[in-house]
Every structure is written in structure tokens, then in C-alpha cells.
Amino acid sequence: MNNGFFITFEGGEGSGKSTQSNLLYEYLLHTGHQVIMTREPGGSDGAEIIRDLLVNGESDRWEPLSELFLFSAARIDHIAKTINPALSEGKIVICDRYIDSTTAYQGIAGNIDKDIVSLIQNLTVKMLIPNITYICDLDPIVGLERALNRNITETRFELKGIKFHKKIRNAFVSIANSNKKRCVLVDANKDIKEISKFIFNHFESTYKN
């Protein structure tokens, strides 16, 4: 039985989604909710081992299809060991990146056929679709500069070039537009506090209803 509530954050490099997901986590803790914070790739022992293969090394280290399988293998472990147990205890789970990253990075930007991506995603997550997904939208020129300034090690995706990251931004916008019930597009150019206030208000009105 799944009594919990599942929230994901998505967006391009440096879009502020990790900051915003952490702020929501703190807010929920302080307002008395049972909540866990996790991330992808990773979030369980096995998935963290696979993460290392994915985020380090040359930017063309893997074919998009290999990436699709590696991210999916990591996700299966993460769901089984971390997400599902927390949801069945009635907790709120916040996850930094999930299925929409696979659709954007491997599917749309990686040019893998839509039907193949859907098939693998359905097999991987079964019915575990987030209740809410916040998609942080930012000009990739601004985002990449922020990301490369703070992260000097795990840069495999950051190094893929501006054309790739423009595709990622467009991909996330189109995912948001085609999943309006679940996804909320967040203007990540705004002030951090203003964005978090918007997210807290949106969460409160959705969670209670």
C-alpha cells in the first residue's frame, strides 16, 4: 500500500532545482511532515555505484542507449530500496531528478525513439509516477555557468555543449506542457526566496486537495 506523496524536481544544469528541493525538504520538516530527500542517479547503495559510471569521465563515454539502461538500472534499485519503502510508511519523498530527466536527456536530446524510451520507463517505474513535478526553467547559458563554477568533478553532462543544453531546456518545457496535471514549470530566473514561496504555496494547495 502506498500512502505517501511523491514529489520530483527537474531541470537543466544549474537551474537551482537542488537548492529548491532542499528548501522544500526543510519547510516540510519544520511543518511537521515525515519526509525524505533523495536524488537520481543514486539514492540507494547500488544506484550510487551506477551513478559513478554515469557522471564521471568523457562526455561521450556512453551511447545514449547505454545511458538509458544504466539510468534505468539505477532507478529500479532506488525505487525498491529507498522510494517505495518510504512511501509505504506514509512519508513524503522528494527526489532530485527522475523519469523526466531520462525523457529529456536520453530520449529527446539523445535521439532515442520515443516508443523505446516509454517502454523502458514503464518497465522501470511500473506505476510509480510523481504526484507533483517541479520543472525549473532557466536559460542554459546562465545555468551552465553556474553549474561549472560550483562543480569541478562530476561534469560529464555539463561538458556536452550549449546546443545539447538548449535541447534539454526545450525538452523540459515540452514535457511540462504535455503533463499539465503533474508538472509545474517554475521560472528559475526569479529570486530564490520568491521561487520557494511559490513552491510552498503550490505544494500546500495540492497536498490538501
By CB under 6 A, name the binding residues for ligand TYD: 13, 18, 39-41, 55, 71, 96-97, 101-102, 105-106, 154, 157
Contacts of 202 by beta carbon, 8 Å cutoff, 6+ apart = 132, 134, 184
Nearest to 200 by CA among 189, 186, 179: 186
CB 74 → ligand TYD: shortest distance, Å? 8
CB closer to ligand TYD, 3 vs 178: 178
For ligand TYD, the closer CB: 52 or 204: 52
Complex with ligand TYD: residue 31 or 80, whichever CB lies closer: 80
Of residues 63 and 204, the one with the C-beta less far from ligand TYD:
63
Task: Name the minimum Å distance from CB 44 to ligand TYD.
Answer: 13
In the complex, least distance from residue 83 CB atom to ligand TYD, rounded to whole angstroms: 13
Closer to ligand TYD at the Cβ: 55 or 76? 55
Smallest gap from Cβ 37 to ligand TYD, in A, equals 13
Amino acid in position 135: I
Q: How far is the CB of 18 from ligand TYD (least distance, A)?
A: 5
